[in-house]
Amino acid sequence: MSDKTNDSQTLGPDGVGEPTRRDFLYIATGMAGAVGAVAAAWPFIDQMRPDASTLALASIEVDVSALQPGMSLTVKWRGKPVFIRNRTEKEIEDAKGVPMAELKDPVARNANLSPDATASDVDRSAGKGKENWIVMIGSCTHLGCVPLGQAGEYGGWFCPCHGSVYDTAGRIRKGPAPENLHIPNYAFISDKVIRIG
């Protein structure tokens, strides 16, 4: 008698074949090949990503000379919309008149100030002498939708997806959004040019 192993498939009681050693070898070889292909492709995929220093230095300059009071501009920065608004005197006065106790989020969320700065109108704006300018990342802090400008009951921004309402300083007043619209790092490099980033 021969001690050879029989690789032919044996049928089980339900008529389905039981796996053999050859089946296992096919599966193991296929898996090893797939892992090897991914390992070989990864350096090519990884080199397409920009490095951290490129992302950290990414900035844009925006000419706002054409924006009269009451006008807005939306630009794209790092793949996100950024709202730039030259507010009217009435919009500034409305924002200044809101008691801090009424605010849902009392923090400024302004990357140009300390993290604990309050959400006063001046801390949300471009600062003393430039209170008319407001620059904010245009992504709702609820789920990242893009709110509509000069809409909603406070005359600021309204996110129709889930009903978040922001005032003329970009502060959340009603709806599910937990935070004010965030303000990126920016500076006026001249009277009419803003550098964002």
- Burial of 4: CB neighbours in 10 Å, binned 0-12, 13-18, 19+: exposed
**1 to each of 9, 14, 21, 186, how far by Cα in Å?**
21, 31, 22, 87
Report the SS3 class of residue 72.
strand
Rg for the chain, CA atoms, rounded: 29
Structure confidence at residue 1 (pLDDT): 47
**Is there a contact between 165 and 91 (Cβ–Cβ < 8 Å)?**
no
When the candidates are 3.40.50.1240, 2.60.120.10, 1.10.150.120, 2.102.10.10, the CATH number that belongs to 55-196 is 2.102.10.10
Provide the b/e sequence for 15-48 (b: ≥16 CB within 10 Å).
eeeeeeeeeeeeeeeeeeeeeeeeeeeeeeeeee
Strand 80-86 and strand 133-137: the pairing is antiparallel
Q: What is the mean pLDDT of residues 108-132?
A: 92
How confident is the model at residue 116, as a pLDDT?
92
Tens of pLDDT, residues 162-176? 899 999 999 999 999
**112 exposed, middle or buried (CB, 10 Å; 0-12, 13-18, 19+)?**
middle
Q: What is the mean pLDDT of residues 175-192?
A: 93
**pLDDT tens for each residue of 3-47:** 555 555 555 566 667 778 888 888 989 999 999 988 888 888 888
Name the residue ranges covered by the structural domains of the chain.
1-49, 55-196
Q: Which residues contact 24 (CB under 8 A, 6 or more apart)?
A: none
At residue 44, the pLDDT reads 82
Marked catalytic residue, from 22, 78, 162, 192: 162
Identity at 83, one-letter amino acid code: F
> What pLDDT, on the 0 to 100 scale, is given for residue 8?
55
Among 76, 187, 197, residue whose Cα is nearest residue 133: 187
Arithmetic mean of pLDDT, 136-160: 91
Decide if 182 is catalytic: no
